[in-house]
Amino acid sequence: MASTQAAGGTAVNDFLYLSLKLLDARQGQRVVVLFSDGSDIHSVLPAADVLWKARAGQSLIYWIQLGGKHQSFTSAWRDFKGNDREYSELEKAVKESGGRILEINRVEELEGAFRNILQELRQQYALGYYPTNAKSDGSWHKVQVTLKSGGGRVHTREGYADY
DSSP-derived secondary structure letter, 157: -
Among 29-38, 109-118, 136-145, the range scoring the smallest mean pLDDT is 136-145
**Average pLDDT taken over every residue of the chain:** 85
Torsion sign across C-alpha atoms 9, 14, 18, 21? positive
pLDDT tens-digit readout, 30-41: 999 999 888 887
Split at pLDDT 50, 70, 90, the class of 9 is low
Query: Euclidean distance between the first and final Cα of the chain, in Å?
Result: 42
Split at pLDDT 50, 70, 90, the class of 68 is low
What does the pLDDT average to over 81-95? 89
Split at pLDDT 50, 70, 90, the class of 157 is confident
Q: Rg of the chain over CA atoms, in angstroms? A: 17
| Angle ∠(120,5,38) on CA atoms, nearest 5 | 55
CA pair distance 18, 71, nearest whole angstrom: 25
CA pair distance 81, 53, nearest whole angstrom: 23
Distance, C-alpha 125 to centroid of its chain = 19
Helices (H), the chain: 12-24, 47-56, 80-97, 110-122
Domains present along the chain, CATH in parentheses: 12-127 (3.40.50.410)
